[in-house]
Amino acid sequence: MDKRTSRVKQAKVISLLNSAIFEIGDGAEANLQSKALAIQKEGATFTGEEFSFSDFDLFKIELPQFKTQPAIEQNHLQQSPYIDVENVEIIGVASSSLFQIGSLESIESESRIKHFRILRE
């Protein structure tokens, strides 16, 4: 991986949540993981012990993995030793997401979110 210098004049990020990264510069590896329960409850009163990730199969399933990395032939010609950014404005980066100005050798990202509603009868 060719290294370049990231030059950023202005960056505005309003929100970073749940295993999110905003990075300026090069990185070798990023491993992002996020688990969340998004519960909308009518007449919401929570004690904090109502739900557990282990209550839902979504969080128990093992994700498939590639046995080998696919071979990709690439040729890059960098016109400049710099990555120049004048201005970037980001509303939000969330749930195992990465916004990077620079190079990254490898990334693994996983986000599991269970949404549900509990309505009164």
User: pLDDT of 51-87, one tens digit each?
Assistant: 888 999 999 999 888 788 788 888 888 888 999 999 9
- Per-residue model confidence (pLDDT) at position 70: 80
Residue 120 half-sphere exposure toward CB, CA atoms < 13 A:
4
pTM of the model: 0.73
Q: What Cα–Cα distance (Å) separates residue 70 from each residue in 13, 67, 103, 104, 105?
A: 34, 9, 20, 17, 15
Report the C-alpha gap between 23 and 93 in whole angstroms. 11
Residue 92 has pLDDT above 90, yes or no: yes
Count CB neighbours of 79 within 10 A: 5
User: pLDDT of 20-42, one tens digit each?
Assistant: 899 999 988 999 999 988 888 88
Q: Are 85 and 9 in contact (CB under 8 A)?
A: yes
- Per-residue model confidence (pLDDT) at position 119: 82
Question: DSSP assignment, residue 67?
Answer: S
- Per-residue model confidence (pLDDT) at position 7: 95
